[in-house]
Amino acid sequence: MTTPAAVIMDAATYAQAVEDAVKASAAYYGGGTSALDDDAYDRLMRGIAEWEAEHPDQVLPGSPTGKVAGGAVEGDVPHTVAMLSLDNVFSPEEFTAWTASLARRIGHEVERFCVEPKLDGLAVAARYAGGRLRQLITRGDGMAGEDVSHAMGTIEGLPDELAEPVTVEIRGEVLMTAAQFEHANEVRTAHGGQPFANPRGAAAGTLRAKERAYTLPMTFFGYGLLPLPDTETALAARLGELAHSELMAQATAFGINTTATTAVPGITADTVEQVLARVQEIAALRAELPFGIDGVVIKADLASDQQTAGSGSRAPRWAIAYKLPAVEKITRLLEVEWNVGRTGIIAPRAVLEPVEIDGATITYATLHNPADITHRDLRLGDQVMVHRAGDVIPRIEAPVAHLRTGDEQPIAFPETCPRCGAGIDTSEQRWRCENGRNCHLVAALSYAAGRDQLDIEGLGHTRVVQLVDAGLVTDLADLFALTREQLLGLERMGATSTDNLLAAIAAAKGRPLSRVLCALGVRGTGRSMSRRIARHFATMDNIRAADAEAMEQVEGIGTEKAPSIVAELAELAPLVDKLAAAGVNMTEPGATSPAPHDDGGTGDHDETAERGGEPLAGMTVVVTGAMTGPLEKLSRNQMNELIEQAGGRSSSSVSKKTTLVVAGDGAGSKRAKAEDLGIRLTTPDEFAALVADYLN
């Protein structure tokens, strides 16, 4: 979908638009912050360009069109070769038109394209002399940039010394990954500073900072390699003949992070259709990436095509940026709501002035916990940067502090539980009602009875409310003590529905331990983690006997999570005792109790050896698409249970650690990523045959 242009009606509106765009460019390229988000800026620039095309005699000399960085920044270190920006397209139709224009310019169809992620960072040129990093320069106005060599040594992927003693310039993007951004804001606020609004602003500000009392890590990915005036003649000649994909391979061999080594590596494509397919693949993976992207860069790969096409004053004619829908927008924080979850956790939620992001209207965003609000220094009335990608829950990155008016108000934290009025346990980052699960008993019981937990058919939300209001159930174990007479006494409970519900409750007693553990709703665990814990320890007695050190041996449980899981299991001991007394199963079928380990190791080798005969032993399996055949009626959670019963580990995302991908009908980005990584693919029928002994 093409990004619509801002409507400019007359010369006065045009002049104001030019002023706004130049100010926004100066703020964005200078410090990484702006009063306009990317989408608003793109709309404004398209509006300016359309006005100027219709009124060429009224173009203002200060117009940002046709200028690198909107003409808003300057530099004092000359570039040996102009460091240009990129023109944009926003739809398949615009991209196809661009390829046709490029073909006319070079006299033939482009033989091969290179397709790379458009990294959302700050463009820099890294100059190496004799293999040693000597200078780091920003893009600036394209002709000259700012010397930021003081940042050398703080940027991952940009080594102090190359693998070969060559004299070259590597051009690329300095950015902060999601993890680096979180760390940066923790450090910055600890030193009394305002949190960064987004990763790009954090990278831009950090790259230029010279006298900070702390250092923040950043990451570099190269997208260009070119000779310098002192480059050895033979090497310079060879670089000039290499295709872009070959240049990236050479830069990688030198030891540089490049776009070819990202989580969505640059690839070559021979046709427009292949390029557009790759654009969609990258867009689908966007939410899972450890860094921000705002589009996809498509380049004519061959050096001969690039040389024939040439460059304009602002951008090369042989490359284009295919912009993706904005995932970050600026809007106002109106209110903070405090909601109580099924385990008694008191969670804040931001109420926002409605804003459209990536095709969805966003009115709420997650705030995690009270410490998150304090950490980000959020205030009611703040203009905030809101991030949403794919199906990820929208979140507030930070306030846009330079837009504050002084009318913003502090956010009031609750002094008592907003649901039941009890006291609040504030000893951990996530606050909790002192009544715990009993504060929200209906939610806790409804969750426990759900399909992926105890699967008690007929025990929906309405029925749970009846049981709680009648005083028949005060905790999960009470469900198993219900009598026929008690249920018949409830409204709309006849003999048939009563007998069916009692049968479902009786069947729930035999569910595997992993389901029982999940039904308890231990904080820090979910369906997958409950399965891992149950398979690791085999019995509830073993789980309850485990200390934090033993709990850490379960895959995915680290030093921070283990103590809280152990503590909560101790808190749940009376309830677990009641469940066991009611006859609820407390063992995991097929699991073997772990042997004590005294070698300081993880103990995993013992379990692996015991499970060596299982068809998926040691394998990490991802399921994607619609299952067919013997697997057709299995939910995704049941598929994950099947994988782990057969000795494997289920995962929701494809990575280099993935062993096998079960690709059903409609499998999309995960299948594509598996193919790119060379991971084994199998059909639902083939997988069913592999695990036939574990299918009911």
CB 265 within 8 A of CB 86: no
Q: Is the dihedral of CA 393, 399, 404, 406 positive or negative?
A: positive
If one counts every other C-beta atom within 10 angstroms of the C-beta of residue 460, the result is 12
Tokens standing for residue 147: 């010397």
If one counts every other C-beta atom within 10 angstroms of the C-beta of residue 563, the result is 15
Per DSSP, the three-state class of 378 is: coil
Q: Please give the Cα distance from 94 to 1 (Å, whole number).
A: 10
The helices-and-strands tally (H runs, E runs) of the chain is 24, 25
Q: Mark 362-379 as b/e (b = at least 16 C-beta within 10 Å).
A: beebebbbbebbebbbbb
* Pick from 656, 655, 653, 664: nearest CA to 688: 664
Tokens standing for residue 492: 């709309």
Tokens standing for residue 118: 């458009």
Q: Please give the Cα distance from 632 to 56 (Å, whole number).
A: 62
Rg (CA), the chain: 29
Q: What is the 3-state secondary structure (H, E, C) of 394-440?
A: CEEEEECHHHCCCCCEECCCCCCCCCCCCCEECCCCCCEECCHHHHH
Q: Which residues pair with 156 in a beta bridge?
A: 219
Catalytic site positions: 118
The two beta strands, 680-682 and 660-663, are: parallel
CB 332 within 8 A of CB 383: yes
Q: Please give the Cα distance from 200 to 326 (Å, whole number).
A: 14
Tokens standing for residue 201: 């602003």
The DSSP-derived string for 20-83 is HHHHHHHHHHHHS--SS-HHHHHHHHHHHHHHHHH-GGG--TT--TTSGGGG----SEE-SS--
Alpha carbons within 13 A on the beta-carbon side of 607: 27
If one counts every other C-beta atom within 10 angstroms of the C-beta of residue 573, the result is 10
First-to-final CA distance of the chain: 47
- Type and span of the H or E element at 258: none
Main-chain dihedrals φ then ψ at residue 168, nearest 5 degrees: -150, 170
Q: Which amino acid is at 355?
A: V
